[in-house]
Each structure stands twice: as structure tokens, then as C-alpha cells.
Structure 1
Amino acid sequence: MTLVLKAMALTCLVLLLLQNAPGVGAQMYPDFKLQQPQSSVVVIKGDTLTLNCTLSGSGPVGAVKWVKGSGSDNQTVYEQKGSFPRVMRAVSAPSNDFTIRISNVSLEDAGTYYCVKFRKGIVDDVVFRKGGGTEVSVHARPSVPVVSGPSHRAVPGQSVPFTCSAKEFSPRDIKVKWLKNSTLVRAEPPHITPELSNSSYRMSSTVQVKLSEDDVRSELTCKVQHRTLAAPLRKTYALHQALRVPPSVSVVAAPSGAVEVNKTVNFTCRVQGFYPGAVTVSWLENGTVMNAGSSTQPTETSRGLFELNDTVTVQAGEEKSGSRFTCLVVHEDQEPISGTGILRVTAPALGENNEGLIGDSSDILLSSPGLWLGLLLDKALLAVILFFLFKRILP
């Protein structure tokens, strides 16, 4: 009896060993097929990845799993038992369709995936059939580009740098174009570097732009093209953010030219063609600060620049002739820009303000004893002359 039991145990062991031997499974289940049709798949970061696998024919008892990688370091991605939060079967069990979907794909999900049929072994499950593998490439769309300009405003004629940057894209290849309004601006190829935290990349592109007064209403656009995008990403920078146009300053007097004593003169400071539209205006009389003038609000011109007038009123006293009235304009915390007007005062014309010298002559005589004495002496001299003339004539 003991010999019979030993023989039966030995027979079972031999059968198990034969079942686990290479090639025996295929002979035992000749109609079994495992189909993993996708050799490669490209998926965008954040999207859902679908991996196809179907079984047909009869096969041994054992699980079907999806694994990532091969050899001893492979990783189980999905099996019927266990929890895999991002992975689910496309078709509910029971079914011979073991297609799975992986949601919210990340760059770390890139790799080669295998659909594997196992069969029960003596100790552990043994690989019975393995698919050819699906190589998964994960691409990442670039972030919305960011355009940065100079830290300080520049004046017309200066050439200043602008930088466009984007990050977290994959694969590495990326194209950048710059447009000023609708005109292409030449730029160097973008500088591309790998991200430290994952398998993506970041890039920066810099362009030099020479500013002009008319750029108050100009736009600079960065266009980023990547294979993951159906249309380029665009980011626009308004050049007025980087531009400072200094004002021109002049002082005009009304009335112009020399004025008579005690007349009123308006000195107007014309501040023109500046941007941004905030200035501070002050007045000096011969270097001494005056009371504030009467200022208008800055008005925008058709070119997008600003202008304003500031007026100070002066009484033209004789002592003020030759006085200098200076308008000081401060724009964007820069050094003041000035304009100066000079007051010219003249004496009044003859005949004006002399009404006391025009009137009845008798009033003048009565009020002037010196005139009476002069008249009497004149008459006495005339009488003496006439007396001597008559004396000569008469015998």
C-alpha cells in the first residue's frame, strides 16, 4: 500500500513538472491566444491611456495581469484582485477582454506595458503567455507662455530685452516666434533645459526690441508651437508697459512781448508728448518757488501720448521787469525738465495818466504865482522899449 501511494505522488509530481516545462502549455492549449495589438501608443499628460488585450480559446487556470517593464523589476499595473485607483477594465468581468484604461496619465507612466496570462504553479503562478508589449510615450503640453519685459521703463531709441518662457513640456523639440504687431521679429533659438523634478523640459527665448514713441500702442507677441498643440500658444505684451516718453516743455506769455506797468501777464507751461500720463508741475520766479499755477488734466492725443497746460498769472510791476518765470516738470521720478519765460515791462505812453495837465488855462495861471511874475516882467520890458522908440521919433 505504501508503495502505491508513493508511486501516485511521484506520478503527480512528474505531471506538474511536465506542465511547467517550456512549450508544454502550448501543446496542452493549442487554441489559446493572447492578443496585445498596440506596439506603441502616444498619450498626452493628463489624458486617459487605453491598453488593449484580448484572450481567446481555452487556457489554464490562472490570473491575467498587466505589468510595466520586464524582468524582476517589473511593476504590476492591474490585476483582478487589489486596488488600482487610476486603472480600470474597459469591459466589466467576466470577459476575455482585458483592455484597461489608465486615467490622468503622468510623465512617469511612460514605459513598456505587457498583458500576461498566468497559470497555477506548484508554489507561485507561472507565466503562461505574454503579449508583445506596448511602448507608451507620454507627451506634455507646454504651459501658457509668460512674457517679461525690462525692470525699468526705457526711452525711445533704447533697445531692451523681452523674454518668453514656458515649462513642463515633452518631448524636447519646441518652436518660438516673436511678432511686433504683425511683423516677424528675429530672435535666437530658444534655450531648452530639462526640468529637475520629472522628464519634462522648460525653455526661454529672448528678443531685443528698439523702442519708439509710436510703441505706446504696439504689442509684442510670443507664439509657442509644440507637437502636442493643435494651435500655437500665444502671449502678448503691451509695449507701453516698458516705455517712457519724456515730455517737451515750453513757456509762452500772453500777451507776448513787453507789457506796460500793472498789466496782467499769463505764463503758460506747455507740457507735450509724454507717457505715462502723470507729471508734476511747479513754478519758480527768479529761482524762488511760487504758488501753484492753474493746471489742466492731462489729455490723450491720437498717438496715445499725453499733454497738459499749467498757467501762472503775474502782475507786471516795474520791479519785476526782467524776471524769469521757470516751469519745472517732473515725469516718472526723473530729473526735472524746464522751460523759462521772461517778463518785460515798459513805461506808459505819453498822454496817458496826464489828465491834470489838460484843461482851462486860467485855472493854471491862478494856481501858479510864478507865471504871473513872468507875465508882468514881460509887459514892463515891452513898455520900456516902446517909450524909447517914441522918444526918438518925436522932435
Structure 2
Amino acid sequence: MQCKVLVYVVLLPLIKHVSSTEIQASPNTNATLPCNVTSPLSMKGDKIDKSLIKVSWINNGSDIASFSQAATQIKDGFSWETRDFIDGDFSLTILRASLGLQGVYKCTVSYNSIMLHSSDVTFSILASPTLSIPQQWVVLETESQFKCHANGFYPPPVSFSWTRDEKVIQPPYNVEGEQTSDGYYTAVGNLNFSPSREDQNVTFGCKVSHFGSYQEMDFQLNITYIPSVRLSVVPSSSSIIPLTLYCDVESFYPEEVSVSWLQNGTVVPELPATEQNPDGTYRTRRYYTLSPEQREQGGKVECTVNQPGVVHPASGSVFLEKLDPQDEPLVLTKSAKASVAMMCISVVLVFLLCFGFSWRRRDEKLKSLSVSGIILPPRVIVGRKGRVSVSIEGRRVDRVQTAWFLNDTPISDTSLTGTSKANFNCLYNTLTTIHLPYGLTLTSPVSEKGPLLPSRDEKGYYKLHTQGPLQLSGGGTQQLISSLTFIPQLSIHKGAVFKCQVSYMGKDKIAVERVSEKFTILSAPEVSEIQLAETPNDSDVISLTVRATHFHPDVITFRWFCQGSELSPVASQASSSPHPNSEGLFSAFSQCKLPRSELEKEGTKVWVSVHHITLKQPVTRETRGFIKKPCVSEIVSSTSSPDQTLTLACEITDFHPPNISVTWLKLRDGEQDDREDEVIEGGEMWGPIQAPDSRLYRATATLKRRTTNHEKKEIGGGVVCRVEHCSLLEPVEKHWRNVDMVAPSIPPSMSVCWSSEGVGVFSLLLKGGHPKVKLLWAAGGSTLSPLVSNETEEIGDDGQRELKSVCALERSTSLPSQNNKQLGRQKNGHAIKTKAAVTDPDAEGIDYIDEKVDGENNIHRDEETKLEVDDDSDKEREEDPGALHINRVNLRRSARENERARLRVCVEITHPALKLPVYRTWTEPYEEIISSA
């Protein structure tokens, strides 16, 4: 009783007044709320009774944790170390801090009902924002607004500022932001800016500060230059033939534009073909041919240029009456009629006088031709047939021939299939159409509607078409249309032009030549499904990736959405220029990240839309829910009696969604190159079943086999369990070896035999075992180096397989010289040269070393000289399959010059039936080191 009174007296000065502390932590991290008694709770000579200590933590009137002799309790999500109470540490740890755990926590400590300590700890969350700036196109010298998104911060506010080349263009200003459903805040900072030409390729930045932390995101402007548009017409000799217009679009950027043709409000799409100006802008000329009916209709014709980021596209318009005035009927007066009559009489007289001279030129007049420009297809798409054509008018078009060229290279007809080249020799030369008299033409027999044909070499697929000659009204004029069908290929047609030469049969002179405009080749992207994967450094964040391949040109856009709101990608190859592959086609990917908790919600939908110039509608890929890769265990086996049924099982856990496929495969009986043989039927799967308190699933795949001798032979080398799931790029395979695997019999030590020349032969004999055992020899001092060994396999007297492994080595303390190499060759050639000496260290071959060296004073001089000069003999001995390779092991001397490292020789034995490798080691005796030193 007196002792307790003394304790009370000592503890009374330790009572502390209430103190307050503020603790901040990031979301999903652990935070420690301190509660410490500064003076020790012990007395000299007395031991504190832990059962008299009472501790409690309270938050908003609710008990969080308590400790007393009666009971101890603590809520989920909190932890403390009761063993530290004796040292005066009563701190409480919050696990995975969140917004709902904020508030004032009160800690009280008493000993034997005497209050020792009371303190308040204010806990709050401090979350830094993540930044994103959506990419957009802006128009030159037109005010645009940029948005900088700061998401997931707490508490508000945040401060935005904008920079240009690291210079502040808008000072900091605060934004409170809006609170989201998870309790955190999101805010948007705006910058109104009118870009100029000097802003191209300049780095802008959005800087956000939040309670002392600073973050900055840099970006560059995508500036659109508005072009000037002008319409013109290609002169035509007749009003009843098609009329060709062209539209000049000047000084625009970027290169990708969409030009539309409109006649009285009707849109006609047209394909771009651009060239670059010296100032970096582009220019292009677009053609469109009006039919006679459209030409007669007249009215207003417009050329409209659509560009990214432009609300009101540039356009040019003109009335056909102004470009193409129609001839009006003439009304003659009486005087005019008299003048016409006099002129007719004069013309007749002149005609009669000049008839003789004009007869000679009549033929040339009949040969005059009117050739239109080359008309390109509206869309040239890789792998799809396209056609180019020209229209030829004249009185003798039946005697006209045409020749087509790609740039300056003559085009050969490659459309013929199943026909001997000798039978159609003329059609394999320069692509020429011969129009025979009386309207007959020589054309290819293959239909243009046939299937696509692969290109031959680098020439591509080409086929000639002709229409006509057709008789036009008035004056005996005829029309002929010559066209060429081809399959576009980037490697051949990118940046190329077609050329058509028109001439008369039998004449070398080219009458007319037409060259087409350059055309752009398109290829629609192939879009993959969305791939979901855990982030390597944070398993609570899931990355979503989509890839687009085989598209052209290289400009492509990815847009991510989740539940109706747009997401910002964290990684994208579309913002920079992708590199083309060997075919000239491009590939790109885009990636965004979301919290695992968001994806695990029921009905959460994420989708991405891919936009490309070749697509009339964007390609959309979507995914619902979360995808988790399965964990596949090793295959375990068990045998049940009395029917000796062998059961193989494989556990598959932690996967989502539950759809999973398991296939059992039999392996061929082999030791080196096991391969799949066939599928084993009869496998079963228990599950999938959802794990408690989790959205993940697990399942068990089993295979039952009767272990008869026939079945053992059937499954041979083993069995494979192959698991396939939508989250796996490649199936997961687990291997199980046949139960017939038997470990070999390994001797306790290796055999050693030394010659007087310092060559040691080490051998090891292994018996039995299935499959074949693997051995690795190594030697050295403090460190080991691998050696070359020889292995032979025989059947012993007892019927078991015997594997003999032999390794020879020579130790040295110096680097090999020419004499040493020469000595090595002598040893290889004479010391051990028969297969018996290789496989059996006790054979006469090894004793022969000592006899030659000791008994006959090394090798005779004549034979030694022959070994030094006869290189062919050395080569033959080195290539002798029965010769034993002698390894050289260099042993460096230690710090003391009279000692060198001890030689160690080790062999590693591995086998599937052995859980761990087995080692056999020989170490050089210490006495031999002293004698050799």
C-alpha cells in the first residue's frame, strides 16, 4: 500500500494539459497520430504494471480505440503497437487515409485511474492535383480559349498561371473549383489568346500551385492558317462535252484539308493533293469536271475548304454564266445578210482557187485531236482499285494509240492471269491500246470486276480500258476514252503522277501528252480492342490502351470517354509523328488511366473513338468492367486406390471477368525437344466462383487418367495445362512431367588421374535415371570458370543406362604463350587420343602419358619437329572426335609470392527428379601447393 501511494505521488507531476497537433496526409497513405507521455512511466526500483494503464482515442464522440485491463478494441482501418505503451508511446496509425477520416482525434492516458496525458490531434487530407490540357486546333490571329484541368485536389483552392517560353503571360489567380462525387475537387483555368505566326513551335505552359506544391504542364499550339481560294475553268472547245473546273487553295496549314465542291448547295467530296510553299504553308489545285447536263444547268459553283478548328470555312464561288458564257443565236439584218452573201461568194471563189493547195493538208486537218486532262479518282485507297482516264476527240480517233507511264516509267499490263506470256507477248510490252479500223479495238480479256490481284515485283497491278470510238453529233467528230485501272501501293504510287501519250499508229511523233496531278493515297486504320492492365508501380491504377495500325496519312486522333465525360490520355503516339513501317503505313497508340475502384463499379463504361480522314464515321471501341489477369498454379498430381486413377489439378485464382478457357495437351515423349502432340479429352473445371468480399473469381481445372501401362505410355513426356483469358496476350501454360521420372544414381566423389605433365583427368559415372541428366564442369581458384567435357552413354551389364562424363585440364599460373599452345597441341595429339581413354580414366591411354614422358624422355626429337611444322597433322588431330579436349586453368599467385590459389574442380548435376542440383567437388591438397610453389 505504501508503494502504491509513492507511485501516485510521483505520477501526479506528470499530468499534462490538453495540447493540439495538426497532421496532414496524402490519400491512401498511412498517417500516424502522435500521443506521447514525455516523462517515463517507471520508478526506480519499481516495475510498472501494464494492466493499470488505460488509453482511449475518440473522434467526434465515437470510440476509435481503447486499452484497459477489462478489454482492448480498435476499429478497422486503424492500428497501434501496445508493446510501446511501456515506453510512453500511445500513437494511433490511420491505414489508407481518406476524406471520411478527417477530424479531431482526442487521446487520453491514465495510470491506475490517474490522468497522465490528454491531447487533441487534427487530421486532414492534402491531395495534389493532376493536370491535363486537351489538344485543340486554333486559327491564326483569331482569339481562342485554352483550358487547363486540375483534377483530384483537396482542399480548395488552386492557383493557375500561364507562361510563354517560360515568361509569365497571365499572373496567378485562384479558382475554388467544384466538388466531385468522391469528395475531391476539380478546377479549370482559362487562357484567352490570339496566336500569331511567331507562336508556331513555341512552348506554352500551365502552372498550378496548391498549398505550397507546384506543378507545370507544357504544350505547343496547333495553328491553322486560313487559305485563299480561287476558282478557274479549263478551256473547252465545245459546249456539249464535260467542263473541268479547278480550285486553287493557297497559303494554308496544316497539310491535311478537306475540299468540298458544291453546285447549288449540293456537296461533291473531292480528295486533297498538296504541295509545300517556301514559307512552310501548302498549296493545292483541285479539279472537278461538270457533265454536259450540269454545265447546261448553270448557276453558282462553290469551292469550300474545311480545316481543323475553323468554324466558318474559307470558300470561293463563281457563276457558270461568267466562266462559261453560252453562244446566243444571231439575228441578221438585211444589210448583214447581203454582206454574208458577198462573203460566201468570196469564200467559194477562194476555195476553188485554193482547192489544189488544201487537198494536201486535208489529211492533217482530219488528224487534229482534242485531249482532256487526266481525271483522277476521288479517293485513292490502298488495296482498292482506282481508275484514271483521258477523253480524246477528233475525226480519226480510230487510228489513235495511247501509252501510259508512271512518272517516266512505262507501265506494263499485269492483269493477265492463267495465260501464257508467249501467247500475249504484245500485251506485256509498254501498255498500248491499238484501235483498228472499222471501230475494232484490241483489249485485255480480263474483267475489271474480277478479284484483286497481288502485285508482280514492284510493277503493281494495271489494266487498260477503252470506250469508243463514239460518234458525236455534228461534223463527224468521234470520242474515245482511254482509262487505266490500278491497285494503289504506297511504295509505288506515293508522290507519283500518271502520264498519257497520244499518237497515231505508225507514227513516232507524239501528238499530245497529258500529266496528272499528284494524288494522296489513303489507308483506313485497323483499331484493336481496349487492353486493360495494372500499372506496374501502382496496382490501384488501371491503364487502358488502344492501338491503330496500317493507316495513311499519319494524322490520327484518339478521344477517350467514361460515362459521358471526356478523359485526357496520359500517353499517346498520335500527338507526335508516328514512324512508318516497311510498307509506308503508320501505327499509333493511345493510353489513359483510371482508378481500379472506378472500373470495378457496376456498369462503368469506357470507350474510345478513333478519327481519321479515311473514315466517314469514327471507329469506336468500348469495354465494361475490370479485367484482371489470372494467377495459375503449378500442376499437382494424386493417385487414388483401388483403380489407380491419376488426378491432375491446376488452381486458377484472382481473375475477372469469369469467362476462362482451359485445355489439356499431351506432350511427345522426348528429352530435348518436347512438343505438343494432341488435345486430351475429359478435362473438368470447378467454378468459376466469386471469392468472398471480392469481385475476383477462382476456379480449379482437373484431369483424371487411369494409370495403366498403356495410359503411362500414352501421356509419354508429360501433360500441359493451357489457360486462356481475355486479359492475356498469350496463354499461360503449366507443365507436368510423367510420374516415371527417376533420379540417377550419383557416386559420392569423382575419380581423378594426373599425368607427370600436369594434366588431370576427372571422371564421373552416373547410372540409371530418366530423362537424361545434365552436367556442367567448372574449375578455378576463388572463382570458377566453365570447362569443356565429353559424355558417352552406354547400357551396363545390369541393363541400366550408364552416363560417363570425363573432363581434362591443365593448371597454370601464367598466361599461355606460343610454346604452351604448342605443348597443348602435342598433348591433344598424343596424350589422350582414343575413345577408350576418354570414357575410362583407368584405361591404358592415361598410363601412356606417364610412360611417354618418364620412360622415353618425352617425345623423340624427329617426331617433335614433325609436330611443330606439320599443320595439317595438327588439324586432323584437333578434329578427331575421339580426342579429349584439355582445358587450361590459370591460377594466379596470392599476395605471398611463395603460394598460389588452391585448384578446385566442381561438377553440377541437374535432373527434373531432383529438387535441387547435386554438386561433387575436388580440392587440391595443401601439400601439393607447397611442392609446386
TM-score normalised over the length of structure 2: 0.27
Cα distance in 1 for residues equivalent to 2:265 and 2:157 = 66
Correspondence for 1:11? none
Q: Deviations over 1:149-169 (max 9, x none)?
A: 99xx76433323334343554
Cα distance in 2 for residues equivalent to 1:161 and 1:210 = 9
C-alpha contact 2:231 2:303 (8 A) present in aligned 1: no
Cα distance in 1 for residues equivalent to 2:210 and 2:122 = 19
Matched, 1:44 2:18: no
Q: Deviations over 1:190-239 (max 9, x none)?
A: 2325748899765443321113466675665321122363xx32345654
Correspondence for 2:231? 251
What secondary structure does 1:79 align onto?
A: strand
Correspondence for 2:306? 331
Correspondence for 2:495? none
Matched, 1:86 2:77: yes
C-alpha contact 1:223 1:233 (8 A) present in aligned 2: yes
Correspondence for 2:36? 53
Q: Deviations over 1:119-148 (max 9, x none)?
A: 56xxxxx453114x2534534123213446
C-alpha contact 2:272 2:286 (8 A) present in aligned 1: yes
Deviation (angstroms), 1:184: 2.6
Matched, 1:98 2:90: yes
Correspondence for 2:257? 278
Deviation (angstroms), 1:59: 5.1
Correspondence for 2:467? none
Deviation (angstroms), 1:56: 2.6
User: Which of residues 193, 198, 211 is equivalent to 1:209?
Assistant: 193
Q: Given the superposition, is the C-alpha separation of residues 45 and 358 from structure 1 closer, same or farther in structure 2, using an over 3 Å criterion? A: same
Matched, 1:129 2:109: no
Superposition map of 1:277-356 within 5 A? 277-282=256-261, 296-298=272-274, 306-312=282-288, 326=301, 328-331=303-306, 334=312, 337-338=315-316, 340=318, 342=323
Correspondence for 2:433? none
Q: Deviations over 1:35-55 (max 9, x none)?
A: 999954443343322225355
Deviation (angstroms), 1:26: 3.7
Cα distance in 2 for residues equivalent to 1:82 and 1:306 = 76
Correspondence for 1:3? none
C-alpha contact 1:66 1:113 (8 A) present in aligned 2: no
Deviation (angstroms), 1:249: 0.9
Amino acid at match of 1:84: K
What secondary structure does 1:104 align onto?
A: coil
Q: Given the superposition, is the C-alpha separation of residues 314 and 165 from structure 1 closer, same or farther in structure 2, using an over 3 Å criterion? A: closer
C-alpha contact 2:244 2:288 (8 A) present in aligned 1: yes
TM-score normalised over the length of structure 1: 0.56
User: Which of residues 57, 60, 64 is equivalent to 1:77?
Assistant: 64
Cα distance in 1 for residues equivalent to 2:303 and 2:183 = 59
What secondary structure does 1:85 align onto?
A: coil
Segment drifting more, 87-96 vs 219-228: 87-96
The count of residues paired between Structure 1 and Structure 2 equals 311
Correspondence for 2:372? none
Cα distance in 2 for residues equivalent to 1:294 and 1:128 = 88
Matched, 1:189 2:169: no
Cα distance in 2 for residues equivalent to 1:335 and 1:296 = 16
Larger radius of gyration: 1
Amino acid at match of 1:46: N
Deviation (angstroms), 1:178: 0.9
Amino acid at match of 1:143: P
C-alpha contact 2:127 2:152 (8 A) present in aligned 1: yes
Amino acid at match of 1:102: I
Q: Deviations over 1:274-332 (max 9, x none)?
A: 45633233276xx7989x798543467787755432124699xxxx9xx9995522426
Q: Deviations over 1:85-116 (max 9, x none)?
A: 22222575685343332222234544454443
Cα distance in 2 for residues equivalent to 1:86 and 1:49 = 11
Q: 5+ residue gaps in structure 1?
A: 1-14, 121-125, 346-353, 364-395
Identity across matched positions, percent = 12
- Structure of greater relative contact order (alpha carbons < 8 Å, 6+ residues apart): 1
Cα distance in 2 for residues equivalent to 1:207 and 1:294 = 37
What secondary structure does 2:9 align onto?
A: helix
Q: Given the superposition, is the C-alpha separation of residues 31 and 162 from structure 1 closer, same or farther in structure 2, using an over 3 Å criterion? A: same
Correspondence for 2:855? none
